[in-house]
Structure 1
Amino acid sequence: MNSLGTLVVIILVSAIGIYFLLKSANNDSYKEKSKKPVSPKKYDSSKNIIYTKQSPRKDHRKFTSRAEADKAVNSLRGILEGILMDQKVTKGEINELNKWCVHNQGLGHMNPFKDFLHTIQHRILTESDKLDTLEDIYWLSQQYQENNIYYNAVTSDMQTLQGICHGIISDGVIEDLEVIELYGWIEKNKHLSEIYPYAELYKLLSDILDDGVIDDEEIKSIKSFFQEFVELNDKKLMSTIKEDTTGISFSKINPIEIKEPIHGKWVCITGELNKGTKETLYSRVERNGGVRKNNVSNKLNYLIIGGAGSPAWTFASYGRKVEDVISRQKKGHDIKIIKENDFYEYLERTGS
């Protein structure tokens, strides 16, 4: 091959090389432009999960909420166990519980978290016996953990009952058929027999339907009860119902009343009060000769339960002390459970 031919070959090879080099560069540029931008990754140390735009936080939380709830309850139970070990409650320990509340505020729409949050953020700040309140919270955490499936089933059924009552009273009128149908639902759900307010409502409806006649006063009694269990959004209607039931208290048909002087009787108070503090109520007990007791025992005569309607006990029976008393009653011990309103009625009745 002469020199001219060699030169032509070199030029052709060079041109081909440059062509493929430019094509490769253009392809790489196109691929880079066609890539979808990826958002910066975010790391959630509490769950060891990395979130991107393709795995939004809210979607993951929807699927991990149950695990998150269990983890939060375990954490709370551990904190409480640590605090209760020395049977003392310090300001620093209360602050730590408040931090737990802040950290788990997002779970506040769920039971039992709205119960925990309410009790820690409200009751524990106002009650002098903080140790007793913490033991209540610890008891509730045990109920959640040890009876998780049962707890959730009961919670669902009690919410249904609350919804039924809400629907019945929503127009301010209670028809006879509604009373009969409600009693039918109550009869079918006797597994709720030890849960507030099932037992009270069952007793109320049984007494009303016993004679086969539902009169106006009995309808007012049902409305009075519903006021304790249901809060309507229509404030005007609520006010009308309240006026309509003036002088009628559900507690008056409660089978448990104080019929004798409390002088020398042992009295314990539990739960959140409608009126004042436990210290104030204990003072009135002692002024009437009663003996203050902070814990349940076989010698206890009366357990007074607060009537504030705290959500902390709406779906978990009344609380650990009531559970304790019921257990002792079954063994033959004569301990009476009294509602706060009934006790105040007793004080007014006796002029003390």
Structure 2
Amino acid sequence: MEDKLYAFNYTKNRDKLFANLVSIIDGVLADGVVRDDEVLYLDTWLLEAKHIINNGVIKSLSARVSDILTDRIITDDEREELKGSLYKIQKDILDIPDVDFYSVESDLHLLNGLCKGLIADRQLSDDEIHYLDWWLTQNGILKNNYPGKELYSLIKSILSDGVITKDESSKLHTTLIDFTGCDLDSGVVDGLATRLPINADATVNLTNKTFCLTGVFMAGKRASIEMVIEKAGGKLSSGVTKNINYLVIGTLSSRDWRFSSHGRKIEKAVSYRDRGEDIKIISEEMLFSVLP
């Protein structure tokens, strides 16, 4: 049974990484230029992609990126060569047999990867914003449901007057960091949980309130955190129902988490919240700010 579960999880995580990479490349190429920071991002991301690094296509890309960075100078010729290679790598990945690129789950991985690629150079150009708008417009399911719904709404608001201001671009950039958990200014390539759905202004009460936890917590194992909540007067639920008061998202993401930086519990909680249920989605930090 454990072997079957491992094989299932391995396949899911492998497929997630392949889908992520296809769209990371999409995001990197969206403005037609491969920048230094984007090459560095690809190098670091590939070094951490253990589930797919033994694939021949990925090995060749990783070796090429590492070679470009060896002398710490990226020439224009190297940029153009890498850009051509990335288009080919995309096609080669999509041709890998038995990899899921066509499910709703895969669409979420593709969106996550695209957003990572768009912010890999720590900025958003107008072309990249328009590309994300086009990409979401093509996917009816994503743009009408979490997390695409929030991103799509913000982008449409930004584009409504035909002018993208610096503040609007900065706001979208921050939103993409919150969604992907990819905070490059803090040195995090792919390691923080999503903050996109968090009710940042929520008041957190403990007594007789029901909490559900998801993700990986900096404070320790989930079981020990649940014990602290109970001692402080709170109740616990193993799953998300309309009767819980708070869903708490751990600070850290995990490559084994089904949707990378957001999971099923978050998706379900957002759905209940959108239907008017009194569920607050809070961060680990918000929880611990009220724990004794």
Using the size of structure 1 for normalisation, the TM-score is 0.43
Which has the higher Rg, Structure 1 or Structure 2? 1
Give the secondary-structure state (helix, strand or coil) at the position aligned to 1:110. Answer: helix
Where do 5+ consecutive residues of structure 2 fail to align? 19-97, 188-192
Paired with 1:277 and 1:163, the residues of 2 have a C-alpha distance of 28
Paired with 1:323 and 1:168, the residues of 2 have a C-alpha distance of 23
Alignment RMSD (CA, Å): 4.7
Give the secondary-structure state (helix, strand or coil) at the position aligned to 1:259. Answer: coil
The aligned amino acid for 2:279 is K
Q: Deviation at 1:106?
A: 8.0
What is aligned with 1:285?
229
What is aligned with 2:119?
169
> More displaced, 250-259 or 161-170?
250-259
Instruction: Give the percent of matched residue pairs that are identical in Structure 1 and Structure 2.
Output: 23
Q: Indicate if the aligned counterparts of 2:217 and 2:252 stay in contact, CA closer than 8 A.
A: yes
Alignment of 1:102-181 (within 5 A): 107=11, 110-111=14-15, 152-181=102-131
Where do 5+ consecutive residues of structure 1 fail to align? 1-78, 80-96, 115-147, 233-237, 244-248
* 2:202 aligned residue (258, 261, 267): 258
Whether 2:152 is the aligned partner of 1:202: answer yes
Aligned residues, how many?
207
Give the secondary-structure state (helix, strand or coil) at the position aligned to 1:313. Answer: coil
Q: Deviation at 1:191?
A: 0.7
Q: Which has the higher contact order (CA 8 A, sep 6+)?
A: 2
Give the secondary-structure state (helix, strand or coil) at the position aligned to 1:164. Answer: helix
Q: Deviation at 1:174?
A: 1.0
Using the size of structure 2 for normalisation, the TM-score is 0.50
What is aligned with 2:138?
188
The aligned amino acid for 1:110 is R
Paired with 2:194 and 2:9, the residues of 1 have a C-alpha distance of 35
Q: Indicate if the aligned counterparts of 1:266 and 1:302 stay in contact, CA closer than 8 A.
A: yes
Residues 283, 231 of structure 1: alpha-carbon distance in 2 compared, 3 angstrom cutoff: closer
Q: Provide, for residues 307-347 of structure 1, a one-character-per-residue CA deviation record: whole Å limited to 9, x for no partner.
A: 4333432179722x4566567668x67241514x3x52364
As a proportion of its length, which structure holds more helix?
1
What is aligned with 2:247?
303
Q: Deviation at 1:264?
A: 2.1
What is aligned with 2:285?
344
Q: Indicate if the aligned counterparts of 1:270 and 1:304 stay in contact, CA closer than 8 A.
A: yes
Q: Indicate if the aligned counterparts of 2:175 and 2:196 stay in contact, CA closer than 8 A.
A: no
Paired with 2:119 and 2:266, the residues of 1 have a C-alpha distance of 29
What is aligned with 1:313?
258
Residues 260, 214 of structure 1: alpha-carbon distance in 2 compared, 3 angstrom cutoff: farther
Alignment of 1:213-228 (within 5 A): 214-227=164-177
